């Protein structure tokens, strides 16, 4: 299914109100079999902004679309200049209390799986296993010509060599790893080709306007079918790539719980939306169900893994 570049969503007036009562979420987790679907809001406490929350990056930044990236060499230069600079900061991000709580739920057998719309690798860095990266990961690069994959750290080294001294000061960092740079700051940044065939390189992430691989979608649908409940963490569910799993769970009469500060496009399908900060809320839930949350992440962030929504 192709991801449309949906940049805004206006909540209808009849949307159910949020709550601050997180105890039913703890009850659902305590019963086990819960599938987690996470979005950019889970990583904000790690210093990575979300798209649509208060101060979200879409207020200043329009994400690159697949069509623009593939059709325009100047667009690719602009993207890789911003992404190369952003990677230096993005790769230093570390898991926060929310990521660590999800990992703890998994270790204690309370989850049926984790699907993330994020491309930052922080779930895995916190210790979660078998995470489905719905939109891919920024720590991998793929050639659009020959299909060869390579580690992001290798590309970072090649870009460093091709652009010695490139160190502009960015205005900010975005959820997709881009740094905010002006065209003047991008300048004549040099993009390097595939080391195998000389083709165009692209991060192994699903851009806006691109399709999530059908096999990945079906795998996620199977996870929904096997779960007892769906827990959405930090996603506005504005794009269909995540919303479809909420709709599926509701159609299968499985309870949907959402923890997100702002209203979401999935609220009408949920038992309730808990409008509280994720880190503190999930830590409290973990304490309620008797799960110990690690003090810090299991390993470094995405960049430390070696080589990260498109949208949420």
* Main-chain dihedrals φ then ψ at residue 204, nearest 5 degrees: -80, 60
74 carries a ligand binding annotation: no
Sheet holding 256-259, edge to edge: 131-133, 111-116, 34-38, 229-233, 256-259, 272-274
Per the model's pLDDT, the better-predicted residue between 267 and 10 turns out to be 267
Reduced to 3 states (helix: H, G, I; strand: E, B; else coil), residue 177 is coil
Task: For residue 26, give every residue at least 6 positions away whose Cβ sits within 8 Å of its Cβ, in sequence order, or none.
Answer: 284, 285, 288, 289
> Of 53, 95, 34, 69, whose CA–CA distance to 289 is shortest?
34
204 carries a ligand binding annotation: no
> pLDDT band at 85, cuts 50/70/90?
confident
So what's the pLDDT on residue 140?
94
50 carries a ligand binding annotation: yes
Cα dihedral 64, 66, 67, 69 sign: positive
Q: Could you say which of 61, 123, 135, 269 is catalytic?
A: 135
**DSSP letters along 57-86, please?**
GGGT-PPPBHHHHHH-HHHHHHHHHHHHHH
49 carries a ligand binding annotation: yes
Q: Does pTM surpass 0.85?
A: yes
- Alpha-carbon torsion, ordered 83, 85, 87, 91, to 10 deg: -160
248 carries a ligand binding annotation: no
143 carries a ligand binding annotation: yes
150 carries a ligand binding annotation: no
| For residues 183-198, average pLDDT | 93
How do 149-151 and 136-143 pair as beta strands? Answer: antiparallel
> Of 113, 122, 75, whose CA–CA distance to 94 is shortest?
122
220 carries a ligand binding annotation: no
- Cα angle value 155/157/161 (rounded, 5°): 115
Domains by residue range for the chain, with CATH: 23-305 (3.40.50.1220)
> pLDDT band at 309, cuts 50/70/90?
very low
Per-residue pLDDT tens over the stretch 39-62: 999 999 998 876 544 544 444 457
Residue 104 is classified by DSSP as H
**Any catalytic annotation for residue 108?**
no
So what's the pLDDT on residue 49?
78
């Amino acid at each position: 299914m192709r991801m449309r570049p949906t940049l805004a969503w206006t909540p209808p007036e009849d949307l159910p109100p949020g709550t601050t009562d997180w105890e039913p979420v703890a009850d659902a987790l305590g019963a086990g079999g819960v599938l987690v679907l996470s979005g950019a809001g889970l990583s904000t406490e790690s210093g990575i902004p979300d798209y649509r929350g208060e101060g979200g990056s879409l207020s200043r930044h329009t994400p690159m679309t697949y069509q623009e990236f593939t059709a325009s060499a100047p667009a690719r230069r602009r993207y890789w200049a911003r992404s190369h600079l952003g990677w230096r900061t993005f790769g230093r991000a570390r898991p926060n209390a929310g990521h660590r709580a999800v990992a703890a739920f998994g270790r204690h057998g309370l989850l049926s799986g984790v699907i993330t719309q994020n491309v930052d690798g922080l779930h895995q860095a916190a210790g979660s296993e078998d995470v489905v990266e719905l939109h891919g990961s920024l720590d991998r690069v793929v050639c659009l010509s020959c299909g060869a994959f390579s580690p992001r750290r290798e590309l970072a080294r090649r870009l460093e060599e091709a652009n010695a001294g490139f160190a502009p000061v960015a205005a900010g960092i975005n959820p997709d790893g881009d740094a905010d740079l002006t065209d003047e700051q991008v300048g004549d940044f040099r993009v390097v080709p595939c080391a195998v065939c000389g083709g165009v390189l692209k991060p192994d992430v699903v851009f806006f306007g691109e399709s999530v691989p059908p096999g990945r979608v079906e795998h996620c649908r199977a996870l929904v079918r096997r779960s007892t409940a769906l827990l959405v963490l930090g996603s506005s569910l504005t794009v269909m790539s995540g919303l479809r799993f909420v709709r599926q769970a509701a159609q299968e009469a499985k309870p949907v719980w959402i923890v997100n500060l702002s209203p979401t496009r999935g609220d009408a399908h949920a038992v309730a939306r808990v409008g509280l900060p994720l880190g503190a809320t999930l830590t409290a839930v973990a304490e309620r169900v008797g799960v110990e949350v690690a003090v810090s992440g299991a390993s470094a962030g995405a960049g430390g893994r070696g080589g990260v929504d498109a949208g949420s």
